[in-house]
């Protein structure tokens, strides 16, 4: 029995996830044909998604990573967003697709988009695996969206509960939350 069997219920299974990621990759491939693309992955939760998405994009691309946090270890946002790890290369003049695991309040992504605007990227689009609109405090335009989910606490496929469950290969709902 898997370590997580008693703790979670499957919300989006692995084949459904992978099918949607292939579709997103095909759409990004079409939209960025002839351009130099950089995937800017938000750490840590988006790593699994970004890796599979990069393989689904049929273009040469660069990958950069940026750590941003508003949770500081809890399950509710503090509202205070901070950069925990900055990208290693300049963003000026680059076509960026920001890869995020989930957009719920929108505060973290709003902060990140303002931060990137100041860095003079050629273009910035948002790709989020999940959107939780019931929690939105600000409207974020998501250019490439995987799934819309209800207001439940989810783990798996990079998403965590106190750093656990990231390695579950599907999106799951925590039992009792």
Residue 104 placed within a domain: no
Assigned domain for 99 exists: no
What does the pLDDT read at residue 79? 63
Whether 103 maps to a domain, the answer reads no
Count of the separate structural domains present in the chain? 1
Q: Whole-prediction pTM value?
A: 0.91
Among residues 56, 22, 8, which one has the least CA distance to residue 168?
8
**Mean pLDDT of the region 171-176:** 91
Please report whether residue 63 resides in a domain: yes
Domain membership flag for residue 116: no
Residue 147 has pLDDT above 60, yes or no: yes
Specify if 106 maps to a domain.
no
Which residues have CB under 8 Å from 67's CB, separation 6+? 42, 43, 44, 83, 84, 85, 86
pLDDT tens profile 71-94? 555 555 556 777 887 787 888 999
Q: Which residues contact 90 (CB under 8 A, 6 or more apart)?
A: 119
Dist CA 8 CA 107 (whole Å): 27
Report which of 59, 58, 51, 66 is spatially closest to residue 17, judged by C-alpha positions: 51
Q: Taking Cα atoms as reference points, which of 123, 40, 47, 48 lies closest to residue 86? A: 40
| First CA to last CA distance, the chain | 22
What is the DSSP code (8-state) at residue 165? S
Catalytic residues: 104
* CATH number of the domain enclosing 75: 3.40.50.2020
Classify each residue of 47-57 as buried b or exposed e, where b means 16 or more C-beta atoms within 10 Å of its C-beta.
bbbbbbbbebb
Contacts of 74 (CB under 8 A, 6+ apart): none
Dist CA 105 CA 91 (whole Å): 25
Q: Note whether residue 111 is domain-resident.
A: no
pLDDT single digits (tens) 3-56: 888 999 999 999 999 999 999 999 999 999 999 999 999 999 999 999 999 999
Residue 136's domain comprises: 8-30+37-93+122-174
What proportion of the chain, given as a percentage, has pLDDT over 70? 94
- Indicate whether 78 belongs to any domain: yes
């Amino acid at each position: 029995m898997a370590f997580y069997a008693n703790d979670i219920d499957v919300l989006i299974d692995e084949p459904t996830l992978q099918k949607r990621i292939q579709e997103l990759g095909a759409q990004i491939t079409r939209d960025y044909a002839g351009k130099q693309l950089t995937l800017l992955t938000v750490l840590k939760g988006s790593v699994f998604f970004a890796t599979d998405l990069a393989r689904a994009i049929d273009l040469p691309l660069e990958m950069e990573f940026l750590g941003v946090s508003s949770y500081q270890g809890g399950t509710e946002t503090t509202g205070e967003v901070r950069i925990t790890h900055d990208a290693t290369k300049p963003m000026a003049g680059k076509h960026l697709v920001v890869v995020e695991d989930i957009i719920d309040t929108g505060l973290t992504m709003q902060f990140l988009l303002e931060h990137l605007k100041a860095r003079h990227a050629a273009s910035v689009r948002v790709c989020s695996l999940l959107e939780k609109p019931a929690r939105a405090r600000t409207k974020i335009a998501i250019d490439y969206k995987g799934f819309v989910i209800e207001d439940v606490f989810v783990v798996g496929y990079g998403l965590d509960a106190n750093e656990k469950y990231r390695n579950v290969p599907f999106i799951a709902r925590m039992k009792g939350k």
